[in-house]
Structure 1
Amino acid sequence: MIKKIIYHSRIIISVTINTISTSHKVSPFYLIITFFLTLLKGISPLIFIYLTEKTVSSLINDLNDSTISATPFFFIFMQFLYLVVMEGINYIDRIINFRLYQKMEYYFNDETFSICTNIPLIYYDDLDYYNSLEKATTGIGKGSGVYLQEVRSFIQSSITFIGFVISLYVIHWSIALFLFFIVILLIGINIYTSKSDYEQFISQILKARKIDYFESLFKSKEVAKELRIFKHSPYLLTKWKGLFWLVSDEQYSLEKKNSRKLFTVSLLHFFLNFVFLSLIGFYVITKKITIGKFVALSQVLSNSINISYQLASALGKIFRDSLTLNDYYVFKDTVPSERSYLEYNSEMENFKSMRVDNISFSYPNHEHLVLKNISFEISAGKKVAIVGRNGSGKSTLVKCLTGLYSTVGGEVLVNEEPLTKEIREKFFSAVFQDFLKYEMSIHENIALTNDLDDEIENRLLKVIKRTGTSDLLHKYDLEISDNVGATLHGRELSGGEWQKIALGRALFKDSPIIILDEPTAALDPVSEAKIIEEFLDISIGKTSIFVTHRLGSCINADVILVMKDGELVEQGTHDELILLNGEYTELFNMQAKWYTQKEFEYN
């Protein structure tokens, strides 16, 4: 038990220091102002109770002396002034807090997005990692600001609480002890509640993701078509309802359990309040204290209920949210980054060759090898086709060639240097099967920049013309500054039109190596042949690697790599592979036969 308390205390201290340090980094001025205001707000209830006591006492004195003095009206005015000042403090506190929240949310989100863009791609295929990512980063931006507010609330409540304890101790030590007892009891319940909430959140991460997934299906334009054709909606609704109420019932059960504990403590608090109010009432009757002090102490006792809850609740929230924020700090410190080099190497100025040396690959937590002992070499300027049946490992090989996936044994060498993040950024561009459709302008989709100087515009127009994107500009009467994608009120495009824009993005980067991972799958055979032909034409002097399932496009490739069950079973030119009469020949003949049959049927 003691070890757990020490462990959690260390987490709270560590997270609090990190959060305050971050807020100081974000805005030292705002941080100092907020904590100064916290001090004022912590003292303020004591000031108001003091003014109330003085007002009542002076009124009673004037009543007893049958006189009218300025003293009661002075304290009434001071109460009015107090309320005006406190409203001003609250106003300043709100706007400063709001701005500080924004700055902290921006800082943490920026840091999170940087982490996400620099971790190895393979971690997105690892369920354990993805759950860690979800657990550590969900709401971290706003959560950090909320945590800082919770720390401030705890400090503010502590200042007020200490003042209340001292005030009650003057009357009787037992009253102060009672207040301590209630607060400790509430703190224990709130910490237990917060721990239960956190553990439930962790246990429900996967279920919550499933609920989000099913909810996204009902809002998806792509899914809407299938729901209407196959009538899947009743089944999907049943799945969603089951998960929703499974999670909701677990949360409801915990809420009832926690609320019962708080309700019991509240009843105890009210009972003891009744006892001690009766006690100080007795003190008034026996003239041990004045009526003014009775009013002040009764306010202290009444407010002690709220302040006890505030103090315990703030600490409970600090406990809960410190665990969440600690997940983020642990995640940030432990998540790996891609291999990188910092030293300048003159050999990396121009691309000369890529050597794949006996690489294998498997997904995290899986022993099965998706790629097995693959070796080949590509010289600068070569046109390389990667072919094979579905599931043969073509796309996985591409991810290994670009360093997006780390290999299990073996190495990918560029100019005889191990492949790194910087080498990929310098030498590679690619269009993948699941390329992105940016809901932005055509210019931004291709160039990914707002700049449009003469040099960028000339390059952009050449790329648009080469990829056939100019045709859709004429077709829809669009300018390069016009948005595409219907979600943000742009022009919706077909799959083939989107692919032309994605091809333009790859060509615009003007890298020495261009990879096309079946980007023309949505195009008809004629359009595909034209795109690949143009691609090969414009890639003269560059190294082009393309993955395709239509072998007719491979005839003009310098090297064809034939994949089967994760292995490189053949490599060579089209003529060389046909002579081998192996896997490539079988695939080629199957497709030739298919096209011949179709042509016969159409005729």
Structure 2
Amino acid sequence: MAEKPLTIEDLIKSDEEPKDWRQFPRLMRASFRLVWRAARREFVLTTTLQIFSGVAMAGQLLIGRELLTALFAEGATLASLAPWVAAALALATLMRFAAFAEQEQSTILRELVQQHAQGRIIDVTARIALEEFESAEFFNRLRRATMGSGMRTMQLVQGIVMLARSSAAAVGSLVVLVLLQPLLLPLLALTALPLWLVTKRNSRASFRFFVGATPLDRARDYIVGLFTERDSAKEVRAFTLAPYLRARYEELGERRIEELRKTTRAMMKRSMAGSAASAVLAVATFGALAWMFLTGRLDLASAGIAAAALMQLTATVGSVGVGVAQLYEAALFVRDYDDFLKLGEGHQVRDDGRVLPPFEQIRAEGVAFSYPGSAVPALKGVDLTLRAGDVIALVGENGSGKTTLAKLLAHLYRPTDGKITWDGADTAQSPQHEQITLIFQDFMQYQLTARENIGLSRADDLDAVRQAAREADADTFLSGLQDGYETILGKEFLGGTDLSIGQWQRVALARAFFRKAPFIVLDEPTAALDARAEHELFQRIRELFRGRTVLLISHRFSTVRSADHIYVLHQGEIVEHGDHDDLMAQHGRYAELFTLQAASYT
């Protein structure tokens, strides 16, 4: 039997479904709070201009009534009409100026709100525990929060602007109808009811679709990135992956379109039914107005202005409905945005700000760690000691837990069980990032200047930057670049210059030298260096990092044999430890792996 394809209903979680409109006031408060914090001045100006436009529309109706009354009066002259014509022209001019000003302020408001919201997301992702980045659900929530801070914040602002304008216009028209014939108001209210019901259902349906489509959208974006990003583009060509990936992209797109068609078709049917019902009620309202005129309850001028007010209100009610729909839909995504910010509060790295003194030893005591969603622990029962000034090596086969243990010792992850101490002080609440330097095997290639690549936030000290580059043997080729240390590295931006992978690794090593931290973690630090450069680096490592503790991870056993102590990991556990001679004498896993690797060179 063919496997049933996933639908949006399968992808959406029950606790992510939008609730009823009773939560609308709370969502609106959160939305207005976001806009207010981002740009209160622009928000006040935009809202004020919208209210003025709405009041001015009511003023136009009242001026029009007086103008018609004067026109139909016996003995009407240009002199009697001139004041009302002048007032109408003046008000129209002011409304035009207000519209231009509102357009400018709305554009700035949208940009400020988007910038503020995106900035908050950056703050959360910078604070949140690194383990969260191992969870697919985290990235789904991040995408929806980013959507809420991007296009949805613009939709939010547009909804607020439209609602303010429409509400002000509606209030003005309502005032006119109250003055002319208040009995028309209940009928008019009934015309809005079908549209409100449809708006509620459609907004929820739209939200459900976009939430459910998040995994599909992320998968499609990933495939696009494989085509458009420099590092992956070469493999796409080398393995002729373009046809396969293109077909995969189309398949995901077709699944999304199929679900979108179902959603929009249902929304269209509801909208057509709601519009038809609203149109019938509107006809009934205008019929009531005609009856009032024919029975003498309204004179011609009043009936004409009332008709104009009703037409304006009918359009305004529709605009209010659209505005509320936009606000509600955007507010649902703002809920995702707010929830993501709260996630940052609940899962951020706990840091009491305590700076520990230079350590004599770092200990891992019964440390275990499991990645989110994984049933198999990456580490279990790890006991380890690092003494100040020593070079400690972690070795083991791929997947043995070396890099995971290094991240725990560097306070990037928190142990699931056990603890890591500095001279007996538990570091779970006191991460010491300023005292630790890490160079990963997948080190970053920052598309910044050479100076910033090495010094980062403290790059103003060019002498220290150059000294670090000299220690990593990077000063010669960096100084020879077109603009020296001010040259942008990488081809991402105009004027950038790319480096070889070996040169990039030297720049990464220079970052480690620059920080002067007492604890250095080097994860495969020479993977991209040639044999001579690797040999020279390891011959100098004690000199370069004199007085500092070095944790070295390497698959090349020849590079770790001079370490003061070597820990051998297997399936998340330390199975052997000692110096090179001790481990070789044990004839265990280390001796086996060392011998296998050495045999390939004989």
Shift in CA distance, 298/549, structure 1 to aligned 2, threshold 3 Å: same
**Secondary structure of the corresponding residue to residue 377 of structure 1:** strand
Tell me which residue corresponds to 2:11: none
1:326-405 alignment runs, 5 A limit: 326-334=335-343, 335-342=346-353, 344=354, 348-405=356-413
Match of 1:290 among 296, 299, 318: 299
Q: What CA distance in whole angstroms lies between the structure 2 residues aligned with 1:57 and 1:173? A: 20
- Higher mean Cα deviation, 254-263 or 569-578? 254-263
**Kept after mapping to 1: 8 A contact 2:518/2:549:** yes
For 1:340, the aligned partner's letter is D
Aligned twin of 1:39: 51
SS at match of 1:153: helix
User: In the alignment, is the contact (CA less than 8 A) between 2:155 and 2:326 conserved in 1?
Assistant: no
Distance 1:223 1:141 in 2: 27
Distance 1:398 1:590 in 2: 25
Distance 1:15 1:260 in 2: 27
Report the counterpart of residue 456 of structure 2 in structure 1.
Answer: 448
Report the CA distance shift for 1:72/1:256 in structure 2 as closer, same or farther (over 3 A). Answer: farther
CA distance in 2, matches of 1:108, 1:38: 24
Kept in 2, the 8 Å contact 1:338–1:420? The answer is: no
Q: Which amino acid aligns with 1:463?
A: A
1:540 maps to amino acid: R
Q: Using the alignment, how far apart are the partners of 2:298 and 2:183 within structure 1?
A: 17
Per-residue deviation, 1:88: 2.0
Residue of structure 1 equivalent to 2:142: 133
Q: Who is 2:486 aligned against?
A: 481
Aligned to 1:579: 585
Q: What is the rounded CA distance, in whole Å, between the counterparts of 1:174 and 1:432 in structure 2?
A: 76
After superposition, the Cα gap between the structure-2 partners of 1:546 and 1:253, relative to the gap in structure 1 and judged at 3 Å, is: same
Could you say which residue in structure 1 is the equivalent of 2:468? 463
Partner of 2:570: 564
Question: Any idea what the Cα deviations from partners look like across 1:62-85, whole Å, max 9, x if unmatched?
Answer: xx53x4232322222212111211
Q: CA deviation at 1:282?
A: 5.3
Alpha-carbon distance in 1 for matches of 2:454, 2:429: 22
Q: 1:279 to 1:235 in 2, by over 3 A?
A: same
Q: CA deviation at 1:538?
A: 0.6
Native 8 Å contact 2:451 2:459 kept in 1: no
Aligned positions of 1:237-316 closer than 5 A: 237-281=246-290, 283-284=292-293, 287-316=296-325
Structure 1 letter corresponding to 2:106: N
Contact 1:11 1:323 in 2 (8 A): no
2:96 alignment partner AA: E
**1:183–1:309 CA contact under 8 A, matched in 2:** yes
Distance 1:302 1:544 in 2: 78
Secondary structure of 2:347's counterpart equals coil
1:12–1:318 Cα contact (<8 Å) kept: no
Residues 280 and 181 from structure 1, CA distance in 2 versus in 1: closer, same or farther, beyond 3 angstroms? Answer: closer
1:57 counterpart residue number? 69
Please tell me whether the aligned partners of residues 439 and 525 of structure 2 are also in contact (alpha carbons under 8 angstroms). yes
1:173 Cα offset (Å): 6.0
TM-superposed deviation, 1:332: 2.1
- Displacement after TM superposition at 1:146 (Å): 4.2
Partner letter of residue 445 of structure 1? Answer: N
Change (3 A) 1:522 1:250: same
Cα distance in 1 between the residues matched to 2:240 and 2:177: 69
The range that moved more, 584-593 or 246-255, is 246-255
Contact 2:155–2:327 (Cα < 8 Å) also in 1? no
CA contact (8 A) 2:166 2:319 kept: yes
Counting only pairs closer than 5 Å after superposition, residues 427-442 of structure 1 correspond to structure 2 as 427-442=435-450
Q: Does 1:118 align with 2:130?
A: no
Q: Which range is displaced more, 129-138 or 198-207?
A: 129-138
Distance 1:496 1:421 in 2: 37
Q: Which residue number corresponds to residue 477 of structure 2?
A: 472
Q: Which residue of 2 aligns with 1:205?
A: 214
Whole-Å Cα distance in 1 between the matches of residues 482 and 35 of structure 2?
Answer: 50
Preserved contact between residue 472 and residue 510 of structure 2 (Cα < 8 Å): yes
Instruction: Point out the more displaced range, 382-391 or 106-115.
Output: 106-115
Match of 2:433 in 1: 425
Closer, same or farther: CA 138–535 of 1 in aligned 2, 3 Å? farther
Partners of 2:541 and 2:200 lie apart in 1 by 63
3-state DSSP of counterpart to 1:360: strand
Residue 159 of structure 2 is aligned to residue 150 of structure 1: yes
- Contact 1:165–1:179 under 8 Å retained in 2: no
How far apart, in 2, do the equivalents of 1:353 and 1:100 lie? 54
SS at match of 2:385: strand
Q: CA deviation at 1:149?
A: 4.6
Partner Cα separation in structure 1 for residue 182 and residue 63 of structure 2: 24
**Percent sequence identity over matched residues?**
23
Structure 1 position 555, deviation (Å): 1.9
Deviations 1:235-283 (A, max 9, x none): 1111100111211222232222212322233334444444544554455
Unaligned runs of 5+ in 2: 1-17
The answer to whether the 8 A contact 1:432-1:519 is kept is: yes
Secondary structure in structure 2 of the residue aligned to 1:429: strand
Please state whether the residue corresponding to 2:381 is helix, strand or coil.
strand
How many Å apart are 1:129 and its aligned residue?
Answer: 2.4
Take 1:178 and 1:163, find their aligned partners in 2: how far apart are those partners? 17
Q: CA deviation at 1:507?
A: 1.6
Query: Match for 2:267: what amino acid?
Result: N
Report the secondary structure of 1:492's partner residue: coil
Q: 1:109 aligns with which of 99, 113, 118?
A: 118
Query: Quick check: 582-591 or 282-291, which moved more?
Result: 282-291
CA distance in 2, matches of 1:315, 1:553: 66
Contact 2:50 2:168 in 1 (8 A): no
Q: 1:485-537, CA deviations, whole angstroms, 9 ceiling, x for partnerless residues?
A: 00113111121111111111122111001111113222233222223333332
RMSD (Å) for aligned C-alpha atoms: 2.5
Please report how far the alpha carbon of residue 53 of structure 1 lies from its aligned counterpart in structure 2 after TM superposition: 2.2
In structure 1, the partner of 2:557 is: 551
**In the alignment, residue 119 of structure 2 is paired with which amino acid?**
D
SS of 1:523's equivalent? coil
Q: Counterpart amino acid of 1:235?
A: Y
| C-alpha distance in structure 1 between counterparts of 2:580 and 2:411, whole Å | 28
CA contact (8 A) 2:34 2:117 kept: no
Match of 2:471, as an amino acid?
R
| Greater shift in the superposed pair: 85-94 or 398-407 | 85-94
Return the alpha-carbon distance in structure 1 between the equivalents of residues 327 and 204 of structure 2: 11
The residue aligned with 1:185 is 194
1:218 alignment partner AA: F
Aligned to 1:325: 334
Aligned 8 A contact 2:67 2:85 in 1: yes
Alpha-carbon offset, residue 308 of structure 1:
1.2
Shift of residue 594 of structure 1? Answer: 0.7
Structure 1 distance, partners of 2:112, 2:243, is 44
